[in-house]
Amino acid sequence: MAQFLNEVSRTFSEYLLIPGLTTKECIPSGVNLSTPVVKFRRGEQSDININVPLVSAIMQSVSDDGMAIALAKNGGLSFIFGSQSIESQSEMVRKVKNYKSGFVVSRANLTPDHTLADIIKLKEKTGFSTFGITEDGSSNGKILGIVTGRDYRPTRDDHNRKIREFMTPFSKLIYGEYGISLQEANDIIWDRKLNCLPIIDKDQHLRYFVFRKDYESHKEYPNEVHDAQKRLCVGAGINTRDYRERVPALVKAGADVLCIDSSDGFSVWQKETLEYVKAEYGNAVKIGAGNVVDREGFLFLAEAGADFVKVGVGGGSICITREQKGIGRGQATALIEVAEARDEYFAKTGVYIPICSDGGIVQDYHMVLALAMGADFLMMGRYFARFDESPTRKLLIGGNYVKEYWGEGSNRARNWQRYDMGGSESLKFEEGVDSYVPYAGKLKDNLDMTLGKIKSTMCSCGVISLDELKQNAKITLVSSTSIIEGGAHDVIVKDTSR
């Protein structure tokens, strides 16, 4: 007979935080959200820390180099998706490591032989209005010109017109030479009344753009996460199939931390992958593993050498693993048990292995609950997929702007390696869906609001650090009727949209 666990599998929505004593030091500006990413020994510091406890999911529709740069500048970390070729993933990692604040790698490029129709299509897909026109259409190809919104009229011009006919050619471009300082670039922009300045190397290859609109944002980011060489930090996802080829390439590209991306972390495949990385690189390469939902799974990965452990199966907004396979656990219950195992392991061995809560976040206050329940940081997909910086298209559907968002277990992602259980190389059935999420604008604007809520909630709990939150927070179960009581009720809410 199967083993039965009598504990109810619970979600974050079934809990609330109890207020603690708010002292004079409990003000949002005094809250410290820094947290470790990889394991460390008692009395020592983690080799990788982030300044806000949020990382973006290992997904095609979420984490590319653009998202990684934006999130690292704002204190978090991205894990660039691994369901792509080794070469393209490594190139994304290199772009993040080579990024300089204020110098933007062009993410919208075409050749002179493309047409105005291609410009319009690319603008709709990316939202960008400045395009680098290069010899091969790449972001670092030999630049032949640029196109901005002032170069064409989409309602009047022939959409079959070649770009070479209306672009600003290289001979007429004002540009900065590669190696120029940001201050010098901004001086040229202001002196010559430009909206953007291409940065060109000695071989006429496009390296960066510097934009007038980004002038204010070029000021130092106080929460920026960088390595010892002052380069932005970035993570990368791997699988348990081609890790012998993928890991060396990502390490060479400069990835700061790796993570095995899988819906089932409690497997011998992950153990073999972890053992390979540790045998080849020792502690020089950091690697997380998962996902697991109980004590046994955590201890298995801890003993195998994981530098952090990811928690959660079936709780993502686009994940249908529970529907398809009946496998999973309520995210709150899973997190509580794994956190207890983590703390016991630390007490026994003196090694602290951070845990990452992956999935189940619907409201911003769920983030505080997850952190109070023991998570060191949170991985989110839907949250970040809504922003300009995610790599998906922004569309107008039913009068509302949305962004595409699909699961790694969907046929669209074709990421069969994430669900690999041995055997033939194919996706047997879908464990994720293809969907849309409401468009929300820029990452920074939304993240600032979210962090404000987190800090305010922590202050109401009487704590000003994540360690204090874990130790001192008081959490209560709620009934279905008290959930209703917590929202607006017994009133007619005014329609303020008109």
Nearest Cα to 100, choosing from 21, 39, 185, 1?
185
Q: Is 319 a catalytic residue?
A: yes
Tokens of 104: 């933007």
C-alpha angle 409-415-420 in degrees, rounded to nearest 5: 85
Is the CB of residue 307 less than 8 Å from the CB of residue 290?
no
Environment class of 491 (CB within 10 Å of its CB; exposed 0-12, middle 13-18, buried 19+): exposed
Is the CB of residue 375 less than 8 Å from the CB of residue 315?
no
C-alpha distances in Å from residue 309, one per residue of 258, 367, 376, 489: 12, 18, 10, 40
- Residue by residue, DSSP assigns 245-314 as HHHHHHHHHT-SEEEE--S--SSHHHHHHHHHHHHHHGGGSEEEEEEE-SHHHHHHHHHHT-SEEEE-SS
Q: 168-169 and 143-147: which strand pairing? A: antiparallel
The active-site residue, picked from 196, 233, 259, 319, is 319
Tokens of 3: 């083993």
Q: Is 461 a catalytic residue?
A: no
Give the bridge partners for 169, in sequence order: 145
Tokens of 142: 């030999």
Tokens of 331: 């995210």
Please report how the helices 443-460 and 364-372 are oriented relative to each other, as an axis angle in degrees rounded to 10: 50
- Residue by residue, DSSP assigns 342-362 as HHHHHHHHSEE--EEEES---
Is the CB of residue 272 less than 8 Å from the CB of residue 240?
yes
Query: What is the b/e burial string over 419-455, where b = at least 16 CB atoms within 10 angstroms of the residue's CB?
Result: bbeeeeeebeebbbbebbbebbeebbebbeeebeebb
d(CA 77, CA 378): 10
For tokens 């990421």, the residue is 415
Q: 377-380 and 54-56: which strand pairing? A: parallel
Is the CB of residue 273 less than 8 Å from the CB of residue 243?
yes
The active-site residue, picked from 259, 418, 459, 461, is 418
For tokens 């062009």, the residue is 106
Which positions are catalytic? 319, 418
